[in-house]
A and B are shown apart, each in its own frame.
Chain A
């Protein structure tokens, strides 16, 4: 390890289905690092810009700008890619039906799926790497120094392949992933920081695409996970899809228009569904008014009671995992001292009601913890874990996280049954040793099929890998004694080593996993490998500072055309003009921090203007303009570097 990384910062990253965040420990409190647009949340959306005129490689954008492209060029945009991480072709068929993922045509069985994005194809880890790179850059811009080490969170119920894919993505983005941390455990860390508590807590984490429940015991700074359970394909996305399906069916039934073949229209509808869902958390009813391509209007009112009936089956799918987690921890709901809510979907009143019933909260005069923003708490916890790993911090030196493996590890035995070697909810790292032999004289290979899951038959579990033990010295059948060691490391990832004991040919047994990307493939997918070189870094900071300056200058240049401009006082207009001229002149210098300061100043003076413009856009949307037109209005505002602008729509 290079000397410089020893003192470098370790950031905490929440790589979410819907949004991603990067945070770090500022003194003794974790804080989220905002992006260039001032927003803490970077939408987990990746877009490929149109091929430039000079025929060069198209550029990839991430976040709010990428999301804007969703409606205009949906075939060049991808979101919710977390659903595909670490999954094989046969496993993602459901996702392909519900989400507009376009597979490459030339896929072969056993290959890691590749997704088309415009004229290019990417594996899910590559797409995630672009998101991670954006977060890395946001952090580097913030610190004014390179960032090369990170803690990344994953759903607790992620299996081995999903974890490995996440780690691969980190490496492609130029990040050394010091640890994968389970999302609910991270949330517990964030909450546990300022309260030297003892007791048992449950973390209920319903995010965009995944559900986790974890039960932890806190004692003297040790966070010991007792049990975890969940569903890696259950979340807010499923609720959106329900609303979307209803709208599509009704539009077809009432207006004879089948929008399913129009990706842009479906995206516009999905956006309306998500906005409606969010409104229903605070209002008793939400209305939809959408202009259809044939000029008809689709108008629909959804009262909260109807919405709650609709989503009940989705929410009920969280009950089983919660009960199992309690059973596995060997406790009753009454023994849970505190419940922490994580994930945007826990804002839904019906979800809170369900949690209250599950853990008998109000009956015991208790309330779930919602003090920390459910969208940010996982990233904040990741920053705490990053601080623990970096060491040398007084705040976290007494803290230690002892997590568990969510799924049992087993080996396929004769007859296709599973011999379990590491039980679920075992504290990690955990290991098991098994012995194998040959069945035929002179046999030099033994195949081992490793599976993860709780079912009795290997065919019903997730196949992790088929290990081939090669190079066994030829002996009579049954004579070789091959010792295979299975080790689940602190990231929840399996490592296998083998040795033949009889002949003493210890190191010669080769263990070859057959799943996921190979080391060479990951290596070849590393995004811009010069990323951490110092001189490049300075150059990049300057280029980025100029791009940011250009963005806001362009907006200000066009401002006088907007009705919002007229509502500013002459004094305010003059102030903006002065800040604009200052930035325009500073921009020509080589001083990236001066450019950034001037950009921030201009940003500050235009804040009221942006708010006025935002109001106009929102009221336009409410008046029932077409989705596209409303989105264009909003699109302008979203690119404005104001925190409130980006936070408005998610």
Chain B
């Protein structure tokens, strides 16, 4: 089961004015829907800040809360209740979307903890990967070669040639870089555990390591995407 945090900040119900705990979505006195409590996405699910999450439990909780607060449950309610349902559900959806994805969750929690991390990990910005200063040092040589091969392949495609050796090389590179991605993911998970174990000194180090790992991961996944694009054009 999920770990429930009880913040117990008393607030007054907008409808009946009776005070209740601010993390309660429905007033215990009059049962009316309440505004979601201020706080981070973890709190929406009653969770402590943590990197490792029980995903099936998170999904169940998402469904349970959705059934309660979704606008479909308030289609014929008063304007105030409909607005609250809309806001509560938008927050719930935003929280679930962020927490269910390991990378989004990692980036989000690192930011919450004050870490400065790169823009997006989805890799929408194509320009920055050609910036040689951002190539992980241990990969400089291979990345250089891969980019040459990708360029050659694109050229060959343009003039309608099929270079089987090049194709094999690219497929080999793809496997290699995918392997490196998996390694990054394993490393990230290890750092999650270190951080979640909650030793303050270790947390600082883990945090720094994770920021670097996310950076490396973003770079690698852009490479893999480019290789897939060229290979997928077959």
Residues of A at the B interface (CB closer than 8 Å) are: 1, 5-6, 178-179, 219-220, 222, 385, 388-391, 400-402, 420, 423, 426-432, 487, 489-490
7 A-B interface contacts by CB (under 8 A): A388-B72, A390-B76, A400-B63, A400-B72, A429-B89, A430-B90, A490-B71
In Å, the complex CA distance between A423 and B104 comes to 13
The reply to whether the CB of B45 lies closer than 8 angstroms to some CB of chain A is no
Residues from chain A with a CB closer than 8 A to the CB of B87 are 431, 487
A326 to chain B: closest CB distance in Å?
Answer: 14
- Bound form: Cα–Cα A6–B77 in Å: 9
Bound Cα distance from A400 to B92, whole angstroms: 15
Residues 55-86 of B, flagged 1 when their CB comes within 8 A of A and 0 if not, give 00000000100110011110110100000001
* Complex partner residue of A389 from B76, B78, B91, B96, CB under 8 angstroms: B76
CB distance from A22 to the nearest CB of B (A): 18
Cα of A178 to Cα of B82 in the assembled complex, Å: 11
Q: How far is the CA of A445 from the CA of B63 in the complex (A)?
A: 42
Q: Number of B interface residues, CB 8 Å?
A: 21
Contact present for B75 and A389 (CB under 8 Å):
yes
B198: min CB distance to chain A, Å: 30
Report whether B76 and A6 are in contact in the complex, using a CB–CB cutoff of 8 Å: yes
B105 to chain A, nearest CB (A): 15
Summarize B's interface: helix, strand, loop or mixed.
Answer: helix
B175 at the interface (CB under 8 A from A): no
Nearest CB of B to A9, in Å:
12
Min Cβ gap A454→B in Å is 10
Cα-based distance from A427 to B92 in the complex (angstroms): 10
Bound form: Cα–Cα A220–B124 in Å: 35
Q: A490 near B86 (CB under 8 angstroms)?
A: yes
B contact residues around A432 at 8 Å (CB):
94
| A126 CB to nearest chain B CB (Å) | 26
Q: When each residue 102-125 of chain B gets 1 if its CB lies under 8 Å from chain A and 0 otherwise, what string results?
A: 000000000000000000001010
Among B67, B76, B91, B122, the residue within 8 A (CB) of A400 is B67
By beta carbon, the residue of chain B nearest A222 is: B63
Contact of A429 among B63, B67, B76, B86 (CB under 8 A): B86
Q: Is B76's CB under 8 angstroms from A391's CB?
A: yes
A428 in contact with B76 (CB, 8 Å): no
Given contacts A220-B63, A400-B67, A490-B86, contact A428 B93 (CB under 8 A): yes
Q: How far is the CA of A489 from the CA of B72 in the complex (A)?
A: 11
A429 & B93 in contact (Cβ 8 Å cutoff): yes
A178 near B90: Cβ-Cβ < 8 Å:
no
Select A420's contact among B67, B72, B93, B124, beta carbons within 8 Å. Answer: B124
How distant is B206 from chain A, measured CB to nearest CB, in Å? 28
Q: Pick the contact of B96 from A1, A219, A423, A427 — CB < 8 Å? A: A427
Contacting residue for B93 out of A385, A389, A390, A426, CB 8 A:
A426
Whether B96 pairs with A401 at a CB distance below 8 angstroms is no
Determine the chain A residues whose CB is within 8 A of the CB of B208 once the complex forms: none
* Complexed CA–CA distance, A402 and B66 (Å): 9
The interface residues of chain B lying within 8 Å CB-to-CB of A179 are 72, 75
Instruction: Using CB atoms, name the residue of chain A closest to B91.
Output: A431
Query: Given A220-B63, A487-B86, 10 more contacts at CB 8 Å?
Result: A1-B76, A219-B63, A222-B66, A385-B72, A391-B73, A400-B70, A429-B71, A430-B94, A490-B72, A490-B89
